Structure 1
Amino acid sequence: MGKALFIVDVQNDFTEEGALAVAGGDAVAAGISRFLGGHAGDYDLIVASRDWHDATNDNGGHFSETPDFVDSWPVHCVAGTAGAEYDPELDATAVTHHVKKGQGKPAYSLFEGVTDDGETVEQLLDAHGIVDVDVAGIATDYCVRASALDAISHGRHVRILTDLVVGVAAESSEAALAELAHAGAELVSSPGPA
């Protein structure tokens, strides 16, 4: 019965100064790095996702010049650009598997992506006997929410590390956390230094 940490979309375009900046993103990146410094060994897998959109199309309507910020967005996290890279405050050296999602289509959950070896997250978790999943990252009300709900629907016990997530807006983030708790996720603070 293994344990995994999901680090969701801690990318330059989702932190301060990015195309879809989330206030507090840099602080979450730094917090995750501190947490990994003392707790990386607690996990059998550390899976980090990145939006990794195609530059040559609208990615299934995901990109728009007149975004509604619900189903369509300004251009962000284009594959190979600085905006798609991990935030510099995130020390990704402990990450065991990198997942890219949204290649040519909208994708919110890291379960919609694949590893660098072409493996799905579900295949990865099954292969390693992962039962428990802790979730951190950006944004609570979008990709963190979708990733955690998918983990629950795939039969995993999920904990949201509430001090290591940040959302676009307070009201929608609170609603997302309430929805996740109702779905069976535990809302907890990350453990202190090891």
Structure 2
Amino acid sequence: MSRALLIVDVQNDFTEGGALAVTGGDAVASAVSAFLADHASDYAVIIASRDWHHAEGDNGGHFAEEPDFVDTWPVHCVAGTEGAEYDPLLATDAVTHHVQKGQGVPAYSMFEGVADDGSTVGAVLTDAGVVTADVVGIATDHCVRATALDAIAHGVRVRVFTDLVAGVGAESSEAALAELAHAGAELVESADA
């Protein structure tokens, strides 16, 4: 029985100075790196996801000139741009699988993406015998929430490290964490894991 670490969308466009900057994004990148320095060997797999949207089109209605910031968003994380790259404060040398999601369609959960080798997150977790997944990253109230819910649906025990996430809004992040707890996720700080 093994564990996985799921690192959600710690990208330049979601950290300070990015197209959809989340306050505290750089701090999450640094803190996840520090956590990995001490705990990478605790995990059978470490999966990091990135939004990776097409440059052309609206990506299935995901991009809009007048976004509502619920279902539609400004242009962000376009494949091959600096905004789509990992935040430079995030150490990725221990990552075993890099997942890209959102090619031509809206995608929030890393389970909607594919790894460099074409495998899905679900297949990677199953193949590794993962029974527990720890979830960290950006944004608590969107992609972290969706990823954690999909991990629960996949049948693994989920822990969300509340000190290693950052959200768009305080109220929406609190609501997302409450929803995750209700769905069965354990909300803990990384030091208590």
Calculate the TM-score normalised by the size of structure 1: 0.98
**Aligned CA-pair RMSD:** 0.7
Match of 1:109 in 2: 109
Amino acid at match of 2:87: D
Deviations 1:86-107 (A, max 9, x none): 0011011110100000001000
Q: Which residue of 1 aligns with 2:98?
A: 98
For residues 12-23 of structure 1, what are the structure 2 equivalents within 5 Å?
12-23=12-23
* Partner in structure 1 of residue 139 of structure 2: 139
**1:17-49 alpha-carbon deviations (Å, 9 max, x no partner):** 000000000000000000000000000000000
Identity %: 72
Write out the 4+ residue segments of structure 1 that deviate beyond 4 Å after TM superposition.
none
Query: Shift in Å at residue 56 of structure 1?
Result: 1.0
- Residue aligned with 1:98, SS: strand
User: Is 1:11 aligned with 2:35?
Assistant: no
Whether 1:189 and 2:186 are equivalent positions in the alignment is no
SS in 1 for 2:46: strand
Q: Does 1:47 align with 2:59?
A: no
Residue 69, structure 1, aligned to residue 42, structure 2? no
Structural mapping, 1:98-177, within 5 Å = 98-177=98-177
Consecutive unaligned residues in structure 2, runs of 5 or more: none
Structure 2 CA distance for aligned equivalents of residues 191 and 111 of structure 1: 26
Q: What do residues 133-181 of structure 1 show as CA deviations (whole Å, max 9, x unaligned)?
A: 0000000000000000000011010000000001001000000000000
Letter in 1 for 2:60: G
Name 2:87's counterpart in structure 1: 87
Aligned length: 192
Question: Matches of 2:44 and 2:108 in 1, distance apart?
Answer: 24
Measured against aligned partners, the alpha-carbon deviations of 1:42-98 in whole angstroms (never above 9, x if no partner) come to: 000000000000001110000010101011000000000000000011011110100
Residue 191 of structure 1 and its aligned partner are, at CA, apart by: 2.2
| 1:60 aligned onto 2:64 | no
